[in-house]
Amino acid sequence: MLPQEIIRKKRDGGELAAAEIEFLIEGLTAGRVTEGQAAAFAMAVFFRGMTMEERVALTRAMVRSGATLDWSDLSGPALDKHSTGGIGDNVSLMLAPAVAACDGFVPMISGRGLGHTGGTLDKLDSIPGYRSQPDIALFRKVVREVGCAVIGQTADLAPADKRLYAIRDVTATVESIPLITASILSKKLAAGLDGLVMDVKTGSGAFMPSFEGSAELAESLAMVATDAGLPTTALITDMNEPLASAAGNAVEVMNAIDYLRGVHVDPRLHEAVVALGGEMLLLGGIAESIEDGWAMIDAAIGSGRAAERFGRMVAALGGPTDLMERPAAHLPRAAITRPILPHRAGFVAKVDARAIGLAVIQVGGGRTRAEDAIDHAVGFTSLAGHGDPVGPDAPLAIVHARDEAHADLAEAAIRAAYTVADDAAERGPVVLARFAAAEDGPDAA
């Protein structure tokens, strides 16, 4: 077989055999398939799509490209959550320790930023000393002793996906349901999980801005995961505005620490954490009902037990032992901090969440090429949400920039991202629907 002939077949709308997909992925892992060929394959899939059988074959091929983990020696279920990507989405930083505080185990393998969205791995890399890509032995040790470890892909787990992930980010092929499905699930299947909850975003800041597209992705993830023996539930959540009031890397870590310590809690963020955590506890058999799961997660956060787990996780993976007590002493800070005021006073009527994500990249907090370095200190805080009053004493956001020139760019971008009206609009719910493979379709939340 030749890579170019497989690419040609998919380009022309043909259905690839499992052996052809295996050949391509094996070649990508070994270096026989070039980045150019991988990019062409991704673009062909983007336009031509994949059948469910092809998606399963691609996912399984990526899993087989590396090692797999076995958590059968743990005293509780191995559970995880994955988001399809959003703006101000730092849920993993609170959710993993909250579930661990409820006697679940969370071996969470996260990614870097893709397109206009931020990545959990980039956020954690803003913590000095934190080993976001430890070896498997340390990963297992931290999960067993602390209850959670949030890391990036190691060289052992789904290495083919790691390479393709970076290529998709810079070739405008991120928004492909088959590729998203295979990318997410290959890591989760390799991680040896007992249950998975998917946070599928919809709205202006999501990869799938329409509800219909998000529902299609949720179905794809649930069906492929179920076929592979991994119980999976998907929640479709709103991304028509940033989830947290911060967007960036270090600023989102600070937001998460404030949340866990009870210093500042964004209501929409809390709604998402509780909803996703409840589903994880239900899948793992820790909670008897979804209501019990919600209550358990809420109690883990309110009692400080989740904060304690997060601090232990950071220290166990090489970060500061006093991060929770003195975060400002460790997290990087930008040279310029400036409030961004609206053109007029009023209430936020609409937010272009994607534009805010692109603004983070514009000030240096994201990538336009896979090899780009990022500035972990830059970003935005105090982001206004739907219905919030804004004016001379209530900014749209506060920009954290490396210099005045970048702050000026950010100011223009943020002002363009917000629509201000005379009357306050009612804020909708975060969770819009729930989807599981055994159901006929998404149910309204």
258 has catalytic annotation:
no
Active-site residue, from 110, 120, 126, 214 = 120
Active-site residue, from 112, 123, 140, 168 = 168
CB proximity list for 138: less than 8 A, separation 6 or greater: 131, 317
Residue whose pair of structure tokens reads 């299609």 in the numeric block: 216
The number of C-alpha atoms within 13 Å of 144 and in the hemisphere containing its C-beta is 11
Active-site residue, from 55, 82, 312, 406 = 82
**Residue 32's CB: how many other CB atoms inside 10 A?**
12
Active-site residue, from 10, 60, 64, 81 = 81
Q: What is the DSSP string of 206-272?
A: SSS-SHHHHHHHHHHHHHHHHHTT--EEEEEEE-SS-SSS-EESHHHHHHHHHHHHTS---HHHHHH
Active-site residue, from 80, 194, 199, 266 = 80
Cβ contact 152:161 at 8 Å: no
312 has catalytic annotation:
no
Active-site residue, from 55, 60, 163, 187 = 187
For residue 229, give Cα distances in angstroms to 2, 87, 224, 380: 32, 31, 9, 40
Q: Which is nearest to 196 in space by CA: 435, 441, 444?
A: 435
Active-site residue, from 64, 140, 188, 367 = 188
183 has catalytic annotation:
yes
Cβ contact 78:193 at 8 Å: yes
305 has catalytic annotation:
no
330 has catalytic annotation:
no
141 has catalytic annotation:
no
187 has catalytic annotation:
yes
168 has catalytic annotation:
yes
* Distance between CA atoms of residues 126 and 118, nearest Å: 13
117 has catalytic annotation:
no
CB proximity list for 36: less than 8 A, separation 6 or greater: none
CB proximity list for 212: less than 8 A, separation 6 or greater: none
Q: What is the DSSP string of 264-308?
A: ---HHHHHHHHHHHHHHHHHTTSSSSHHHHHHHHHHHHHTTHHHH
Q: Which is nearest to 195 in space by CA: 74, 300, 65?
A: 74
Catalytic residues: 80-83, 120, 168, 183, 187-188
